[in-house]
Amino acid sequence: MNQFELEINKAKQKIAELNKKYIKSKWTFLIVSIALLLMSAFNGLLSAYAIAKNPNLTAVWLFVSISFITAIMAFLTASSTLFAFSKRRANTKSKLEYLEKIEKELQTNTLSISRDELVVELAQIDLDE
Domain boundaries, the chain: 3-124
89 pLDDT exceeds 80?
no
The mean of the pLDDT values for the chain is: 76
pLDDT at position 11, please? 76
Q: Are 67 and 47 in contact (CB under 8 A)?
A: yes
Distance (Å, whole) CA 38 – CA 43: 8
Residues 28 and 113 sit within 8 Å (Cβ to Cβ): no
Mean pLDDT of 33-62: 79
- By C-alpha distance, which of 88, 129, 116 is closest to 4? 116
Side chain identity at 18, as an amino acid letter?
Answer: L
